[in-house]
Amino acid sequence: MTPGEIREEIIDILESIAPDEDLSELQDAPNFRDQLELDSMDFLDIVMELRKRYRIQIPEEEYEQLASMQSTVAYLEPIMKDMAKAS
């Protein structure tokens, strides 16, 4: 997956977790929590959705790398590339 495709997938996940949020002006660098009204359960829902959709296991100590769109895409890009090669 390209970074743009990963970004679209993350937006899709955020829309399902926080349907009342306006994601049209979501910025890449600021933390999701600074831009959206997400609590810790919402954050866990993001992790669980990634696991469900893509069978990605994200260790708890790496959750901080999913803090913003930019860091999430950077974290997932090598994982998603490896997945594409494996399929």
Taking the chain, what is the end-to-end CA distance rounded to the nearest angstrom? 12
Could you list the pLDDT tens digit for every one of the 87 residues in the chain? Answer: 899 999 999 999 999 999 999 999 999 999 998 899 888 899 999 999 999 999 999 999 999 999 999 999 999 999 988 666 555
Give the CA dihedral 14, 20, 25, 30, nearest 10 degrees: -60
Q: Which domains does the chain have, with CATH numbers?
A: 3-86 (1.10.1200.10)
Q: How far is CA 66 from CA 43, 57, 62, in A?
A: 9, 13, 8
